[in-house]
Amino acid sequence: MEKCFRVLAGVLHLLYPKRCPLCDGVVYTPLWSREYPICGECRARAEYVKEPVCKICGKPLTDERGELCQDCIRHPHGFVQGKALWVYKGCVKESVYRLKYGNRREYGIAYAQELARRYGDWIKRNHIQAIIPIPLHKKRRRQRGYNQAEIIAGEIGRLLRLPVYDKLLARSIPTRPQKELNDRERKNNLKKAFKVAGNKVQLDHILLVDDIYTTGSTMDGAAEALREAGASHIYALSVSIGRGY
């Protein structure tokens, strides 16, 4: 029976091989591997976030002498510090779109593996006790069938052996998509949009996880709800991020 299962798994592996999450090209991996590798060409094309970056939100800066981006200078955030993997453009932008609207849930696993490799030490240094994905409103989740942030957070938690609380934070208001709004509208759109299950959060160091970071309004709204419930040190981690100035 076990032999038949292995043969079947091998056939399926050949018929439906894993694909690079950035270009969707075929990448062959060992049969039992959980890895979703990024092909060499895409590693060269995708712009990984690197120094200099904003010391608060993690956006890449054009001025090597700068410490904060203009967003963080103008608007204080509810989280202590944020990090991101790639700049949101080109193949990364297209990939995130396929994850969210094309049912490519496996991309979330690939992103998480890259994030854990790059920021695992940073997460440990900040004594993160739990990971919380940015929630979708129940109506949007029902339409999409899944929350991409939950997939990413779940895999990071598995790799780093950290608990993931995907029911602790909820989006109580069906807000408009942030991409449709300007900066001021984004902030107003998310005021009081999140609520915490229960009266108090028994955690001091929390990591919020999402797919895209733009102005930080979403992270701020979630962080505000958690801080009001008793959390003190909140950090932010995103797959992709815009540029800072």
In this structure, the answer to whether residues 7 and 61 fall within a common structural domain is no
- Predicted pLDDT of residue 190: 61
DSSP 178: G
Give dist(CA 24, CA 18) in Å, integer.
9
Q: How many CB atoms lie within 10 A of CB 85?
A: 21
Both 180 and 67 in one domain: the answer is yes
User: Using an 8 Å Cβ cutoff, are 79 and 215 in contact?
Assistant: no
Answer for the pair 59, 69: CB distance below 8 angstroms, yes or no: yes
User: Do 62 and 10 reside in the same domain of the chain?
Assistant: no
Provide the pLDDT for residue 30.
74
Phi, psi of 13 (to 5 degrees): -65, -35
β-bridge mates for residue 48, sequence order: 86
pLDDT of residue 92: 97
Q: What is the pLDDT of residue 7?
A: 41
* pLDDT given for residue 5 in this prediction: 39
Residue 41: closest CA among 21, 16, 13 = 21
241 has which bridge partners? Answer: 87, 213
> Is residue 32 located within the same domain as residue 114?
no
Sheet of 130-133, strands arranged across? 81-87, 233-241, 205-213, 130-133
pLDDT reported for residue 150: 97
CATH code for the domain of 95 = 3.40.50
If asked whether residues 56 and 5 sit together in one domain, one would say no
146 and 234 part of one domain: yes
- Beta-carbon contacts of 102 under 8 Å, excluding residues fewer than 6 positions away, are none
Residues 95 and 205 in one domain: yes
Backbone angles phi, psi at 152, to 5 degrees: -65, -50
Domain count, the chain: 2
Would you tell me how many other CB atoms lie within 10 Å of the CB of residue 130? 19
Report the 10 Å Cβ neighbour count for 112: 25
Which pLDDT tens digit goes with each residue over 55-113? 999 999 988 888 999 999 998 999 999 999 999 999 999 999 999 999 999 999 999 99
Q: Are strands 233-241 and 130-133 parallel, antiparallel or unpaired?
A: unpaired
Q: What is the pLDDT along the chain (245 residues), one digit of tens a residue?
A: 544 434 444 444 455 688 899 999 988 777 667 778 899 999 999 999 999 999 999 999 988 888 999 999 998 999 999 999 999 999 999 999 999 999 999 999 999 999 999 999 999 999 999 999 999 988 989 999 999 999 999 999 999 999 999 999 998 876 555 455 555 555 555 667 899 987 677 889 999 999 999 999 999 999 999 999 999 999 999 999 998 77
Query: pTM for the complete prediction?
Result: 0.86
Domain that holds residue 147: 51-241
| Residues 60 and 6 grouped into a single domain | no
H-run or E-run covering 241: strand 233-241
Question: Please, which residues bridge with residue 81 across strands?
Answer: 235
